[in-house]
Structure 1
Amino acid sequence: MGRVQLFEVRLNHGRVVYSPGEPLVGTVRVRLAAPLPFRAIRVTCTGSCRVSSKANDSAWVGEESYFNSALSLADKGSLPAGEHSFPFQFLLPATAPTSFEGPFGKIMHQVRATIDTPRFSRDHQCSRVFYILSPLNLNSIPDIEQPNVASTTKKFSYKLVKTGSVVLTASTDLRGYVVGQVLRLQADIENQSGKDTSPVVASLLQKVSYKAKRWIYDVRTIAEVEGAGVKAWRRAQWQEQVLVPALPQSALPGCSLIHVDYYLQVSLKQPEAVVTLPVFIGNIAVNHVPLSPRPGPGLVVPSAPPQEEAEAVASGPHFFSDPVSLSTKSHSQQQQPHAALGSVPHGAPEPHPQDGSPAPHPLPPPLCISTGATVPYFAEGSGGPVPTSSTLILPPEYSSWGYPYEAPPSYEQSCGGMDPGLTPGS
């Protein structure tokens, strides 16, 4: 063992999570087995964001600095054998962004200490990473208490000569949530056709944007729940709940290289219909009473099937206007109790239940810096992002399918045009 037996940075009270504008206090501890000459002992406190163009690559192509402060703890001299302690204090800037870490970039804050030794001697360095949580108050987002509703109508063809449509409407009780809060989803499906739909799927998606040489987008499914399909000529209503796990907050204010967005996507595979609702994840809950979701202008509640289905309805089953309740087939959170649902650094404050009543000693909001596995895709050229064919990518706008101008001939018409000598029974 060399002369330096211990060289470390300690933060007071073992803290690892701080708020912007708060003082960061600690000490640099050194234990020596023999005297150590030095030219200077310094400590620096830095905060920066770095972005790469490849996953988990240390070759950064984009970088921005938020603060860089330095202190000189001791000038040129010699440290005798034994233990030494050097206190320090930094004031964190009020504009420092929340810590974040993903496969293509990270926002990192750390304290680094250096013992600058004389020429031909090896310098000694140590560092301590700490986390900054800049709480996002959901009440500062415009219209956050308004109902979150989206609707789409999908026309499709089936059995070659028949056409139908499905109206899919999704709504949530709020537009913003905090960790541990329950997201209440309601989906209304009107099957205005004689064909059953596929199961309805709702996915909570996270989209992280990295500004490298070109924009890189990482999208992953946070939670997924699947409901039953809707029978022909039926209206159905599906209600489900999703527990918001520990996730990084939306937007990451103060950082221009990384942006985080969340979406709730409700979709059908048959027919292909998708609605997407933007969702905000913050640290301070919405304090307004949520309004009741109302159908948007795109929602159509017909009292009869569409005109092109009039003949089919006359000879087939009637359209049921009273909605039925859909059952849930699978839920990705069924095996997840109220335990830790995300990546929270050691020493970070624990989540607390949102019961609506002020706590006598409120805890700081929980901090999550990791995003987990993601599916990347890139923006092509200088335009906006172009999604790939991955099922996790936010879907593009779907347009109506093309229909044949004339229906194909029936079996009798086909046989009538054949040679009479070839017809059966001749």
Structure 2
Amino acid sequence: MGVKNFTVQFHDNKVIYSPGQPVNGSILIELEEPMSMKAVKIKFSGKAQVSWTETRSTGKTTYTVRYSSREQYFKEEVSVYGEGSVGSFANSEELPAGQTVFPFQFILPPTLPSSFEGAHGHVRYLIHASIDRPWHFDPKTKAAFTVLDTYDLNLETDARISPTAEDSKTICCWCCSSNPITAMVRADRTGYVPGEFITVNATAENGSTRKLKLTRASVVQKVRFMAVAPHKKTRTWRKSMADIEGPAVTRRQTIQWNNERIQIPALPPSELRNCNIMIIEHYLEFRIVLPRMSKDLCVKVPIKLGTVPLQGITPYSQLPPTMPPPGGEIPLQPTTTAPPAQPPPYQSRLYTYHPLNPFAVPPPSYMAVAGGEVAIKDDDDNDHMMGGQSFAPQYTYYDWSQSAFTYN
């Protein structure tokens, strides 16, 4: 069709923004030969969408119900060439062969939810571009970018509270019940940022005569998707995003987890503030895996994942682990072995990072969400879409290997 290249390019490859910031970039069109066209259009959009289907039966009839809801945060379209444009391209009808670049700038609204890609919904920010060719299929391209709502844990009154949960159950065998199996778990606090470690203390008490297979601690993400059509309904999704395992518990035995650590991967901020059709929750789950035919004993405590870490937290190096921390599964940014004599401090609105400060919080970086890219095909995409087929939001991540808070 003569279009060799049609892409959205972000200025300085910046693809992560905060609400209220300008998004700068350009549309690149490379043609093999001159092309007649009505216009080149760019559309900026931000929206949340929830959708899933359920099968229903009435007598011998089976049908599918689609549940959905949608929020539009912004949508703006401009013409940069041909009809509707201004300047030297206003009356143009043929784009010459070779490369043509159309710069753009769009200022984001001051209040937006963070980008999110979930099982039954998403919050997605896109830049679309299209070449309007009458009586032809319109070539299209698009690119997604990440918007991050600042979630400051220092403003949360319960972020420093150490949550605890306990529960027990019995195993039934024929007509008899065992003595109780009890689980207790405690996290060192409630508020964390991705990259930090949750310090887990737990007890697993086996009062039964059966061996319990293993114990496990997990960081769990739970999402509630809320549809409004054809009527209100909620679907819940949950998944373990990181976990560590402990030993089995033999009969009449009690085991202790003492300052075990589980690292939080790159995940979206809790709550998904400013979105009314999805809610994200995170919690620490401690599980005792029971014998077959018995439901596992599970206790959980809520945690909050933010983008700005708590000030003045206890250095990790004061809490030596009894199990080795996970390693190698999360790529870390390169570091230098010999910092300069007077390294520049990292300034933020709430704290200062200085590499020579033994209690320094490491500087924030960004990492693609745990789980990687997902397809982002829209209903109005055609077979001539030339970009933006997949996307992984990036979230704030604190590399604790650059801080004295880690183990040596």
Q: Give the TM-score, by structure 2 length.
A: 0.66
* Equivalent position of 2:118 in the other structure: 102
Deviation at 1:148, TM superposition (A): 1.3
Structure 2 vs 1, CA of residues 104 and 340 (structure 1 numbering), >3 Å: closer, same or farther?
A: farther
* Equivalent position of 1:313 in the other structure: none
Aligned mates of 1:197, 1:187 — CA distance in 2: 18
Q: 2:130 aligns with which of 105, 114, 131?
A: 114
Q: 1:274 aligns with which of 295, 298, 303?
A: 298
Listed as ranges, the gaps of 5+ residues in structure 2 are: 55-65, 316-321, 333-352, 375-408
Partner amino acid, structure 2, of 1:266: F
Structure 2 vs 1, CA of residues 33 and 275 (structure 1 numbering), >3 Å: closer, same or farther?
A: closer
Aligned mates of 1:363, 1:246 — CA distance in 2: 12
Task: Kindly report which structure 2 residues correspond to 1:211-360, keeping only aligned pairs within 5 A, or say none.
Answer: 211-212=226-227, 214-230=233-249, 236-239=255-258, 240-268=260-288, 269=290, 273-289=297-313, 336-337=327-328, 339-340=330-331, 356-358=359-361
Structure 2 vs 1, CA of residues 339 and 64 (structure 1 numbering), >3 Å: closer, same or farther?
A: same
Partner amino acid, structure 2, of 1:286: L
Deviation at 1:17, TM superposition (A): 1.7
Aligned mates of 1:76, 1:88 — CA distance in 2: 19
Q: Show CA shifts across 1:343-364 (max 9, x none).
A: xxxxxxxxx99974156xx444
Aligned length: 317
Q: Show CA shifts across 1:57-116 (max 9, x none).
A: xx8822211111222323342234233222211001121221111232222111112232
* Equivalent position of 2:220 in the other structure: 205
Q: Show CA shifts across 1:201-248 (max 9, x none).
A: 323222122123521111222233333355666654222211112222
* Equivalent position of 1:69 in the other structure: 76
Aligned mates of 1:158, 1:42 — CA distance in 2: 70
Partner amino acid, structure 2, of 1:44: K
Aligned-residue Cα RMSD (Å) equals 3.7
Deviation at 1:7, TM superposition (A): 2.8
* Equivalent position of 2:346 in the other structure: none
Aligned mates of 2:215, 2:5 — CA distance in 1: 59
Q: Show CA shifts across 1:11-57 (max 9, x none).
A: 111222222111011112233444434333321110112222149xx
Q: 1:91 aligns with which of 107, 117, 120?
A: 107
Aligned mates of 2:10, 2:155 — CA distance in 1: 32
Aligned mates of 2:137, 2:371 — CA distance in 1: 35
Give the secondary-structure state (helix, strand or coil) at the position aligned to 2:270: coil
Aligned mates of 1:34, 1:200 — CA distance in 2: 65
Deviation at 1:180, TM superposition (A): 1.8
Partner amino acid, structure 2, of 1:289: I
Contact 1:41/1:116 (<8 A) preserved? yes
Task: Kindly report which structure 2 residues correspond to 1:166-177, keeping only aligned pairs within 5 A, or say none.
Answer: 166-177=181-192
Contact 2:197/2:261 (<8 A) preserved? yes
Structure 2 vs 1, CA of residues 166 and 372 (structure 1 numbering), >3 Å: closer, same or farther?
A: farther
Aligned mates of 2:52, 2:110 — CA distance in 1: 30
Give the secondary-structure state (helix, strand or coil) at the position aligned to 1:251: helix
Q: Show CA shifts across 1:323-381 (max 9, x none).
A: xxxx87xx9x75x425339xxxxxxxxxx99974156xx444445275899xxxxxxxx
More strand by share: 2
Aligned mates of 2:79, 2:188 — CA distance in 1: 54
Aligned mates of 2:246, 2:128 — CA distance in 1: 52
Structure 2 vs 1, CA of residues 273 and 31 (structure 1 numbering), >3 Å: closer, same or farther?
A: closer
Partner amino acid, structure 2, of 1:70: E
Give the secondary-structure state (helix, strand or coil) at the position aligned to 2:179: strand
Partner amino acid, structure 1, of 2:360: S
Contact 2:178/2:209 (<8 A) preserved? no
Give the secondary-structure state (helix, strand or coil) at the position aligned to 2:70: strand
* Equivalent position of 1:131 in the other structure: 146
Deviation at 1:144, TM superposition (A): 0.8
Q: Show CA shifts across 1:178-201 (max 9, x none).
A: 22211111113455x574662433
Partner amino acid, structure 2, of 1:178: V
Aligned mates of 2:95, 2:37 — CA distance in 1: 11
* Equivalent position of 2:396 in the other structure: none
Task: Kindly report which structure 2 residues correspond to 1:400-415, keeping only aligned pairs within 5 A, or say none.
Answer: none
Aligned mates of 1:39, 1:251 — CA distance in 2: 44
* Equivalent position of 2:369 in the other structure: 368
Aligned mates of 1:24, 1:9 — CA distance in 2: 12
Aligned mates of 1:250, 1:171 — CA distance in 2: 19
Is 1:78 equivalent to 2:93 in the alignment?
yes
Structure 2 vs 1, CA of residues 367 and 258 (structure 1 numbering), >3 Å: closer, same or farther?
A: farther
Partner amino acid, structure 1, of 2:76: S
Q: Give the TM-score, by structure 1 length.
A: 0.64
Aligned mates of 2:140, 2:172 — CA distance in 1: 69
Q: Show CA shifts across 1:288-345 (max 9, x none).
A: 4369xxxxxxxxxxxxxxxxxxxxxxxxxxxxxxxxxxx87xx9x75x425339xxxx
Aligned mates of 2:307, 2:328 — CA distance in 1: 21
* Equivalent position of 2:384 in the other structure: none
